């Protein structure tokens, strides 16, 4: 908002001893140089305090996330929504009892629920105390691809479209209201946002709403700038609840979820999940990713 300087009223008269003396003999002193009268406030207001940025010190996590939601920009895919298919490319690490399953997923989905999904699995890892490494991603290129085609209504999104624009309503869809007071609620709500972002394409307004849902999570903390396994820099936000710690890495420019990982403590501590969202967008068919990726 542009600050408007309130100009001083012209000095038309000087009151002295009950007589009115017209000030016509001299030109008025320019306002910028006129001495301020005692007890009269300055005519130029102080500069407005700029709104807090998401990376400023002394800003709460809730304020950071809401500020991100207010300031994120568009992506290339926000201007190509007229194309018939959405596209997501993921790398995932997921716990399965006593091993870690590593998968490359490429998913094309049409608005009618039809589509195609191609997966490549790297060899499973025994045990769950594992920290994913960037070099592991090379294993996906060497793995055989499995393709599955879906008829209309066969490839379901995480939530039915349209995704609500109201954060409170979206939060209720991600986690039932009756669980709000449960110790696991922060973990469930963070997991719901991750599930949404890794299942379907989110346009600008939907990303902003998802950020405002994260801002509602009790106890969410800010971890500062960090990098994911793909070397991309984002802002880390951490949710700890019921023996679980989830970290979400968010692109500060677009509000996109770049990566998320969860580790659990307790009897079988270790990795629970790690996901990279490598590409997303719109495309014309189920054969090509957006922009040739």
Q: Is the pLDDT of residue 73 over 80?
A: yes
**Model pLDDT, residue 48:** 53
Using the 8-state DSSP alphabet, how is residue 216 labeled?
T
Using the 8-state DSSP alphabet, how is residue 79 labeled?
G
How far apart CA 241 and CA 112 sit, in angstroms, is 37
How many Å separate Cα 194 from the centre of its chain? 11
pLDDT level of residue 77 (50, 70, 90 thresholds):
confident
Query: How many Å is the Cα radius of gyration of the chain?
Result: 28
Q: Is the pLDDT of residue 79 over 70?
A: yes
Average pLDDT for 89-100: 96
User: 223 CB contacts (<8 Å, ≥6 apart)?
Assistant: 235, 236, 237, 238, 247
Average pLDDT for 21-49: 45
pLDDT level of residue 9 (50, 70, 90 thresholds):
very low
Q: Is the pLDDT of residue 105 over 90?
A: yes
Other CB atoms within 10 Å distance of the CB of residue 124: 11
Q: Tens of pLDDT along 140-193?
A: 999 999 999 999 999 999 999 899 999 999 999 999 999 999 999 999 999 999
Phi, psi of 263 (to 5 degrees): -125, 145
Average pLDDT for 82-90: 95
**Model pLDDT, residue 288:** 84
Residue bearing tokens 């405002």: 212
86 token code pair: 């959405």
Query: Are residues 156 and 150 in contact, defined by beta-carbon separation less than 8 angstroms?
Result: no
Q: Is the pLDDT of residue 33 over 70?
A: no
**Model pLDDT, residue 80:** 86
* Of the candidate ranges 46-55, 61-70, 127-136, 242-251, the one whose mean pLDDT is the lowest: 46-55
pLDDT level of residue 55 (50, 70, 90 thresholds):
confident
Using the 8-state DSSP alphabet, how is residue 218 labeled?
T
Beta bridge partners of 102: 93, 122
Q: Whole-prediction pTM value?
A: 0.81
Q: Is the pLDDT of residue 251 over 60?
A: yes
Using the 8-state DSSP alphabet, how is residue 161 labeled?
S
> What integer best gives the mean pLDDT of the chain?
85
**Model pLDDT, residue 7:** 37
pLDDT level of residue 223 (50, 70, 90 thresholds):
very high
Closest alpha carbon to 55 in 223, 228, 259, 215: 223
**Model pLDDT, residue 32:** 43
């Amino acid at each position: 908002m542009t600050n408007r300087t309130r100009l001083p009223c012209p000095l038309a008269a000087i009151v002295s001893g009950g007589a009115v003396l017209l000030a016509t003999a001299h030109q008025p002193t320019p306002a910028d140089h006129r001495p301020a009268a005692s007890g009269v406030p300055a005519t130029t207001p102080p500069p407005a305090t700029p709104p807090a940025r998401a990376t400023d010190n002394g800003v709460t996590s809730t304020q950071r996330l809401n500020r991100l939601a207010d300031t994120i920009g568009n992506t290339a895919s926000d201007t190509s929504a007229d194309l018939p298919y959405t596209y997501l490319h993921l790398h995932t690490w997921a716990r399965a009892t006593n091993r870690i399953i590593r998968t490359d997923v490429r998913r094309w989905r049409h608005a009618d629920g039809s589509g195609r999904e191609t997966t490549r699995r790297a060899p499973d890892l025994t045990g769950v105390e594992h920290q994913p490494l960037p070099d592991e991603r090379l294993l996906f290129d060497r793995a055989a691809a499995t393709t599955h085609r879906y008829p209309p209504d066969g490839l379901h999104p995480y939530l039915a479209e349209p995704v609500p624009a109201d954060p409170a309503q979206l939060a209720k869809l991600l986690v039932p209201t009756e669980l709000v007071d449960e110790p696991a609620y922060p973990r469930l709500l963070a997991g719901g946002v991750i599930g949404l972002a890794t299942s379907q394409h989110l346009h600008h307004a939907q990303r902003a709403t998802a950020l405002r849902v994260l801002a509602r999570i009790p106890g969410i903390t800010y971890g500062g700038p960090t990098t994911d396994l793909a070397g991309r820099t984002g802002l880390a936000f951490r949710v700890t609840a019921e023996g679980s710690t989830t970290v979400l890495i968010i692109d500060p420019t677009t509000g996109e979820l770049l990566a998320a990982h969860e580790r659990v403590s307790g009897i079988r501590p270790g990795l629970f999940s790690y996901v990279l969202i490598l590409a997303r967008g719109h495309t014309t068919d189920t054969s090509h990713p957006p922009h040739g990726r």
